[in-house]
């Protein structure tokens, strides 16, 4: 599917991007950011600073105020890459009245034509997230942690190139957290996808990520490169 050349192309490019909801009032400025296949990037920073807004901008839901934003080679938000972008919003965005299965299959909807394959991928993803027994349950009857796992399964079933996850590990107990995190990072490493995760817990962010971006006072600090994230001053 992917050639070697693809692997050297960044999945995400931001150049001189300012984000926010009002043109005159930018929340965060990002001079330069590239994310490559197989990379995991964590975003940290105080609450209300604009972490979720940054992810929503990358997801094509908010237009950048200025600058250039490319996802999987497509210019956002004009030409979103259909099916290649996985998104786990902070509030999950599940269809509460529908079943776990329905929700997970939604992820595969855009990218996979064959209905059979969609179902198969969904069953696998539900299984990985340990929700097989809840497959037919409506979302509203699940606990907060279970709902987070459904949203994660939805993204795994989709098999996107770039995953945006907004605090997707909160509300999980330690044991579930480890297995969910493992499932997602395994997917990212094996499929040469990339993961951008907002994580308020700095130590957890350092544990999982190759790069750590700290948003502080509206600017992204020069991030630290390396196989594992290093100390970042806040």
Ligand X SMILES: Nc1ncnc2c1ncn2[C@@H]1O[C@H](COP(=O)(O)OP(=O)(O)O)[C@@H](O)[C@H]1O
Stretch in the footprint of Mg ion (CB under 5 A) among 2-10, 27-35, 49-57, 176-184: 49-57
Q: Strands, DSSP E only, in 8-117?
A: 12-19, 28-35, 40-44, 66-71, 74-75, 85-88
As a whole number of angstroms, the distance between CA 188 and CA 194 comes to 6
Residue 200: CB minimum distance to ligand X, A: 8
Q: Tell me 50's DSSP state.
A: S
If binding is defined by CB under 5 A, does position 122 make contact with Mg ion? no
Q: Are 214 and 46 in contact (CB under 8 A)?
A: no
Burial class (CB in 10 A: 0-12, 13-18, 19+), 155: buried
If binding is defined by CB under 6 A, does position 214 make contact with ligand X? no
Of these partners, Mg ion, ligand X, other proteins, none, which one is at the site of residue 53 (CB under 5 to 8 Å by kind)? Answer: ligand X
Of these partners, other proteins, Mg ion, ligand X, none, which one is at the site of residue 13 (CB under 5 to 8 Å by kind)? Answer: none
What is the per-residue binding string for ligand X in 11-30, x denoting contact by CB under 6 A? ----------x-----x---
Strand partners, 25: 22
**Tally of CB atoms within 10 A around 60:** 18
Question: CB-wise, 52 or 152, nearer to ligand X?
Answer: 52
Question: CB-wise, 56 or 161, nearer to ligand X?
Answer: 56
Member of 52, 103, 122, 146 binding Mg ion (CB under 5 A)? 52
């Amino acid at each position: 599917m992917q050639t070697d050349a693809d692997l050297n192309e960044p999945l995400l490019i931001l150049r001189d991007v300012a984000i926010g909801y009002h043109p005159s009032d930018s929340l965060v400025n990002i001079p330069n950011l590239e994310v490559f296949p197989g990379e995991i990037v964590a975003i940290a920073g105080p609450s209300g600073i604009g972490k979720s807004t940054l992810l929503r901008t990358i997801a094509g839901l908010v237009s950048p105020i200025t600058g250039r934003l490319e996802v999987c080679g497509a210019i956002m938000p004009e030409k979103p890459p259909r099916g290649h972008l996985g998104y786990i919003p902070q509030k999950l965005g599940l269809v509460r009245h529908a079943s776990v299965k329905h929700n997970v299959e939604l992820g595969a909807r855009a990218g996979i034509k064959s209905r059979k394959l969609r179902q198969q991928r969904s069953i696998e993803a539900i299984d990985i997230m340990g929700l097989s027994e809840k497959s037919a349950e409506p979302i509203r009857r699940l606990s907060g942690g279970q709902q987070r796992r459904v949203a994660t399964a939805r993204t795994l079933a989709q098999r996107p190139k770039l995953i945006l996850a907004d605090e997707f590990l909160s509300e999980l107990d330690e044991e579930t957290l480890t297995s969910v995190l493992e499932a997602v990072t395994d997917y990212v490493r094996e499929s040469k996808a990339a993961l951008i995760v907002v994580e308020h817990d700095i130590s957890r962010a350092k544990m999982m990520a190759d790069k750590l971006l700290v948003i502080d006072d509206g600017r992204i600090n020069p991030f630290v490169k390396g196989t594992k994230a290093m100390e970042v001053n806040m």
